[in-house]
Structure 1
Amino acid sequence: MIKPLTSLRFIFAFLVFMSHNNLFPNAVDSFSWHIFREGYAGVSFFFMLSGFILAYTYQQRLLEHSVTIHSFYIARIARIYPLHLSTLFISLFFIKFFSSVSAGSIFNLGLNALLLQSFVPGKEFLFNAVSWSLSDEAFFYAMFPIIVFSIPKIGKKRATLLLVTSFLIIMTTAYILRNSPSEHWTLYINPLFRIFDFSLGIAIYNICHKIESAHFHIDYNHTQVEILALCLIIITYCLAFFIPESFRRSVWYWIPMGILITTFYFQKGAISRFLSHPIFVKLGEISFAFYLFHYMIIRAVRIILCHLHIALPLWQEFCITLILSITTAYIAHRYIEQPANKFIRKRFSR
């Protein structure tokens, strides 16, 4: 476990929470509204970090055949499916699914259960809306062994050329689709485009690994570098207010998030030590559950308050949903995610 990166997971999950629980909903297009809504950028961090951590954990082991592809896939299923199916089941009751069963609903349910919804525009936000990112992640997981075994065959130069070509295609698409209704699905949801974020995470890990292997050393203040990395991501986040949204879907954040991940991977500064505190690490560990449950909790609280004719200030509603989301995430992580993960790995790995 890379403790600072684990802790950062919760910070970016909290940004996503902010984007779904904006304290300035009536100030559309204002800077304060932007600060909350821009939280969706956290998804880019998750996709990049996912590629980075999988490469860190599995790349060499797969190449050396010390772990099988079967075991890798079982571990990935154990990672995402227990909570995905739990939140999907809860969402069925949440939207009163059983009172209006139709062929379309069954098809949509099948798409969601199999984590294929992000491939079909218009179907990505059904049931537990945030699970669209799991659909992307499942695709990334499926492709990871292919990517790992392909790089030695095609060579690093060709792999780099392919990465650069993909970058140019996405940049061009972002420019063409600026202010277009289709840019949201194409650039933000579409797994075929978002796999670049994931692949970039793999590339960043390999750069870090090469630096470590070469014992490359420069005498510098690690704490200052960590502060600079954090400042860069904060400045980029704020300046996004002036950038076309099609670029902010992911392109805008690739460099600062890559620097952030690289910096805290080496975990040598004071901020890394601060983020390695058990409380922050635990919040990072429950961040996946927090991410999956928070949107339904926000909606449920709003429905209950409306039904009871209670009008709370937005900041109070924000605090209530945050506390409930963290509490639910802790319970789900401890009593669903961890036990199910261990059971699936033990029962089906070989």
Structure 2
Amino acid sequence: MKNEADHEPAATVGASSVKPLPTVIHSLTSLRYLAAAWVLFFHFKEFFPETALQQSNLTRYGFLGVDFFFVLSGFVLAHVYLPKIRARRFDYWSFLVRRIGRIYPLHIVTLVFTIGISLIGIALGWNYTLWNLGAWTELESGAIIRALFANLTLIHAWGATPDLLFNLPSWSISAEWFAYLLFPVFVLFFSPLLNRPVLLTALCIVALVGLEAANGVATGNSLLQATWNLGALRIVPTFALGIALYRLGETRSLGARGSPIALAGAVIALIAATLLAAPYVVIVLCLAGIVFLAADMERHGGLALLCQPFPVLLGEISYSVYLWHFPIGVVAFDIMLAGRGDVGSLGGIAMIFGVLAFITLISWISYKFVEVPARAAIIAASQGMVQQNRAAGNS
């Protein structure tokens, strides 16, 4: 959903003889768009019931694209900030400002848009087949205030709301915020094992599998399907795994020949696991492997196609694609294309790609005129406050 690195330099461990990872790992940025598109297909397939598009595991498992983002966030944040922590140059306030500058402005814009379009729909008598954008208006006033407060403060994946409301996919942004707040805690907790990355990675995998199994026993549901209620917990093992995989990548590499073979194997394993309806945790582990292996391959000059400007740009705007796709998609399929008739699987795929293209265009505009300037303004304002405080302290 987000390019966590913000193009900041990252150092490597001087004691390691492994070729350093690139300062900016472009292939991981590009892969974000594919993950966002996978989530989009997961949602939009529901508009084409009783078709192969809806019934295929390739689309039914698309919600796990969110867990790809979670692993990737841990990996990239560790890439950027672990060297700063080692050098004792990590500024927690600056870190949080950059994170909030990255996720908050567009979250607010899409929240306001979703509320606004839902009110327009109520006024015009729109009929929805799947997701009623105005369902929140049927709640009691206290529940609406509670849900709105939770969304505004980014705690709506912490069990603070009665259900998914407003821009439904934004629950994952709340989960990301939870992980950002605890990032130094992750690093501190991992510190005894940071110099044993193989063991650390293995323990994170065990923790992910264990939490998934324990949640299944306790609730009868998969942790990897949690959203508003346990979304903040869902991100913990995957974000932690991303940090561990980065540390592994600092000290281990499969080399220029081994990494392409392993990456191809991970992609094949992901497709096979999806088609065979493997347990969700198996698919998430395949996704985590792709994160590690794509970074490893790029360090040796591979994945040149994903490092080209256009796919990288698509990755840059993937956060916008993710946040815009739900309200725009509901309006597109339920209102604008309501009389589509029975178009079948191929027709449904074509329509989804068409809506994806429109959302991508909107996302590029949003990225250029909302995300980038708002982030810059927040960072500049924060730096100004810090300078003022320093000046006041020295006076």
Regarding TM over 0.5, the answer is yes
- Three-state SS of the structure 2 residue aligned to 1:282 is helix
Asked if residue 223 in structure 1 is aligned to residue 288 in structure 2, the reply is: no
Q: 1:168 to 1:48 in 2, by over 3 A?
A: closer
Q: Give, as a single letter, the amino acid of the residue that structure 1 aligns with 2:240.
A: S
Q: 1:144 to 1:269 in 2, by over 3 A?
A: same
- Three-state SS of the structure 1 residue aligned to 2:257 is coil
Match of 1:237 in 2: 274
Partners of 1:330 and 1:179 in 2: CA distance: 40
Write the mapping of 1:139-288 to structure 2, written as runs, cut at 5 A.
139-152=178-191, 163=204, 166-167=207-208, 169-176=210-217, 180=221, 184-185=225-226, 189-211=230-252, 220=257, 222-239=259-276, 241=277, 243=278, 247-248=279-280, 251-266=281-296, 267=298, 272-288=303-319
Match of 2:164 in 1: 125
Which of 60, 72, 76 pairs up with 1:37? 60
Q: Give, as a single letter, the amino acid of the residue that structure 2 aligns with 1:88.
A: L
Q: Give, as a single letter, the amino acid of the residue that structure 2 aligns with 1:287.
A: S
Of stretches 189-198 and 173-182 in structure 1, the one that deviates more from structure 2 is: 173-182
Q: CA deviation at 1:159?
A: 6.2
Asked if residue 115 in structure 1 is aligned to residue 138 in structure 2, the reply is: no
Q: CA deviation at 1:300?
A: 1.0
Q: CA deviation at 1:278?
A: 1.1
Q: 1:35 to 1:326 in 2, by over 3 A?
A: same
Match of 1:342 in 2: 376
Which of 314, 326, 329 pairs up with 1:295? 326
Question: 5+ residue gaps in structure 1?
Answer: none
Write out per-residue CA displacement over residues 147-179 of structure 1, whole angstroms, 9 at most, x where no aligned residue: 123333687679679646633531432552686
Q: Give, as a single letter, the amino acid of the residue that structure 2 aligns with 1:140.
A: A
- The two structures have a TM-score, normalised by structure 2, of 0.76
Match of 1:322 in 2: 356
Partners of 1:155 and 1:172 in 2: CA distance: 26
Q: CA deviation at 1:33?
A: 3.0
Of stretches 25-34 and 74-83 in structure 1, the one that deviates more from structure 2 is: 25-34
- The two structures have a TM-score, normalised by structure 1, of 0.85
Partners of 1:130 and 1:217 in 2: CA distance: 36
Q: 1:229 to 1:126 in 2, by over 3 A?
A: same
Q: How many residues align?
A: 338
User: C-alpha root-mean-square deviation of aligned residues, in Å?
Assistant: 3.2
Q: Give, as a single letter, the amino acid of the residue that structure 2 aligns with 1:196.
A: P
Question: 5+ residue gaps in structure 2?
Answer: 1-23, 120-133, 387-395
Of stretches 136-145 and 24-33 in structure 1, the one that deviates more from structure 2 is: 24-33
Q: Give, as a single letter, the amino acid of the residue that structure 2 aligns with 1:237.
A: T
Q: Does the aligned pair in 2 maintain the 1:82–1:337 contact within 8 Å?
A: yes
Percent identity over the alignment? 26
Q: Give, as a single letter, the amino acid of the residue that structure 1 aligns with 2:32.
A: R
Of stretches 335-344 and 99-108 in structure 1, the one that deviates more from structure 2 is: 99-108
Q: Does the aligned pair in 2 maintain the 1:2–1:265 contact within 8 Å?
A: yes
Of stretches 65-74 and 226-235 in structure 1, the one that deviates more from structure 2 is: 226-235
